[in-house]
Amino acid sequence: MGRVTERRRTLRIRDGAVSSRADTLVAEEPLEIRLNGKPLAITMRTPGDDFALAAGFLVSEGVIAEGGEVQSIVYCAGATADGVNTYNVVDVKLAPGVVVPDITLERNVYTTSSCGLCGKASLDAVRTTTRHPVGDTPPVRVTPELLSALPDRLRGAQKVFDRTGGLHAAALFSEEGELLDVREDVGRHNAVDKLVGRALTDGRLPLSRAVLLVSGRASFELAQKAVMAGIPVLAAVSAPSSLAVDLAAESGLTLVGFLRGPSMNVYAGEHRIALGAGVH
């Protein structure tokens, strides 16, 4: 089974001085996700939390919405011609009676670590109707001060990043700012899927009182994943895309970008941001 990090020999050049040493790199390996034995998708990921990743992916695709809809998730033994278990193929078996949307079985998605929409025929194909609509009963309210403290808390929880400098991270926080879970991966969308998949298996969906923080930009796909999991607030340390803002506005998601220290931009759902008196 692949490790989270691997060592590679590198030539170091520093101020004209040349040396050779081993460097720690984040591991990247393909994961094939099968659904009821049929190949569904391949994603490049950092090994670890593979079952959560597969479950979270199926949530974001609208295939499942509750833990009881999954009968089992297993690594496929004999995934190669010589019968070796590579731990890079997982099969998700759905519970009896769970209906599988046809689109998920026909498109055979290939997702790279940097692209989440590869293989989508059109934007309409990803505007999946969530079974966990973003709600406000009672309303989630977060202050700018609480949001500004989250990136440092996320950074402090990134164990593998400290060794490699090459991982994205995603974290779930309570509306009071408590760190609930954090996952790292070479792909930011995989990190979010791992969070959502873990919440599914723990019976915590929908995540209707949570704040999702991602270490990079906020793409359309990440906004979609938040909506599919019922998350009301998505914050990113970098920029959102125009389509992510459109989806947030349409779905009622609060979208915060450029979250850096006390500064941030609120692109949608500003009603959840608790501003001080006199702030307009």
3-state secondary structure 209-249: CEEEEECCCECHHHHHHHHHCCCCEEEECCCECHHHHHHHH
- Catalytic: 76? no
N- to C-terminal Cα distance for the chain? 54
Burial of 114 (0-12, 13-18, 19+ CB in 10 A): middle
Distinct helix (H) and strand (E) counts, the chain: 7, 13
The alpha helices in 4-116, defined as continuous H runs, are 50-60, 102-106
223 closest CA partner among 263, 187, 268: 268
Catalytic residue, from 25, 115, 180, 243: name it.
115
Strand, coil or helix: what is 60? helix
Residues labelled as active-site residues: 115
